[in-house]
Structure 1
Amino acid sequence: MERVQAPRPTSDLLSTLSQLSPKQVEVFRELQQRPDGAQVAQLAEALGMHANTVRGHLDELMSAGVVDRRVAPSPGRGRPSHIYTARVPRTDKASRAFIGLIEVFADTLDDGDTTAAKAMGRKWAAKVNAKHHTNLRMDLDTAEQCTAKVLREMGFDPVQRPDTSVGNVRELGLNACPFITAQGERPEPVICAMHEGFLDEGIGDVQVELRPHDRSGQCGARLTKRG
C-alpha cells in the first residue's frame, strides 16, 4: 500500500522565509495580502516592478516552496496565465486563530481553577520540549535569555528589569499581551496560569512566576533558581 505523504510542517515554511532576499520578501508580502492569489501583472503594478522581474522572484519563491501556482481560468485560446498564492499565512491572522483555540481550552476549565490551568500549561511545554529535544538544565542568566526568547516569539514583548534582576532573581517586564483585547479587556486568570505552567515547565531548574499587571503598562515574569 502506497504511503500517503503528510503536509509540509508550517514551521519549515516559516524557516524558509527567514532565508529570502529583501526583494523576494517584498514580493511575498504583497502576495500575502491577496489570499485569493494574484497574477504577475497585478503584482508588478502594485510593487512598481517590471513584470519579468516579478516573474523571476516568483520562480525563486516557488523553488523555495513558499509560493504555489495554478492556471487562471481563460475563456479563449492562447498562452495560459497563472495565479500565484502564498503558502504561508500572515502571522497576525494565524496568531488570532491560535489565541482563539487557547481561549476555548481555557473555557473548559472551572472559573478560577488556575491549578488545572498550570497543569495544562506544563503538558503543553512537555510536548514542545520533547519535539525539540530541549535541554532543561541551565543557569539563571541562560534561563532568562531563553524565557525572553519564548515570550518574544509568543508576542509578549519582554524587556529586562535591571532594578530587580539581582542575586538569585531575574525579572522581565512584558509590554504586550496577545490576549488583551483592543478595548483593553484583560484575559481570564486561567489564561495567565496556563502560560505560567508552560514557562515554568519549559525552563527546568528555574522557577518562573507570572505577575499580571504588577506595574503600569506591564506584566511581570519573575525567575528564581529552584531549591
Structure 2
Amino acid sequence: MTRPPYSAISNTARVEMLHLMQLEPRRTVAELCEATGLHANTVREHLQRLIDAGYVVSETERRTTRGRPRVLYSAATGAEASSPVAQRKARDAAVRGDLLRRMIPGTAPDGLTGEALHQLDALVEDLIEEGFDPLVDADALTIDLSPCAHAENQGRAVVCGVHLGVMQGVLAEAGGPLAVAGMEPACDPTTCVVVLERR
C-alpha cells in the first residue's frame, strides 16, 4: 500500500517529535531540537505540519517574569489538549457519516449508535488520511490495518505507540464511549489489528 505524500505522520522526524510530546507535553522548540538533533527551522516546519493535521496544539507560556513568553507544544489528546483542527475534522466526519447512512440504509454497523458511530467515522477518516485501509469489525470492536505500512520500520514500537496515541486522541476529540484498548498480539509483523473498548 502506498502512503499519501502529504501524510502528517509518515515522516520519521515528525513521528519522533510527536512521540516526545505524547510522553511529555508542553515542549519548547529548543527541547525538541535538542532531543531530535534537528535545526530549529526544521522543527518548526514539522510542528506546523502536525498542527495543521490536528495532532499537536500550541499555547503561549504564561510568564510572571520579564522576557518573551515561549510557545509550548503538546500532542492533541482530545481531553487535556484539544485541537480546533481535530474538532472540525470530527464534526465533518460525523456529518459525512450520517449523510452516507441516510443515503445507503443498512450501512451502520450493528450495535453502534450515536456518539460511537461518530467516533468511528472520525477514526476511519483519520486512518484513511494517514494512508491506511481500515477494515472495521463493529461486533468485535476491532480495526484491521494490515498489512502494516510500518512493519519494516526499525522503530516500530515507537511508531505503533504514536499511532495508538493519535487514534485515542481522535476518539476522545469526537466524544463518546469508545477508546483504544491496544493492539491484538500477532506473530506476523505486518499484521496490525487495533482493539477498541467501550468506556
Q: TM-score, normalised by structure 1?
A: 0.41
Higher relative contact order (CA 8 A, sep 6+): 2
Please give the TM-score of this superposition, normalised by the length of structure 2: 0.45
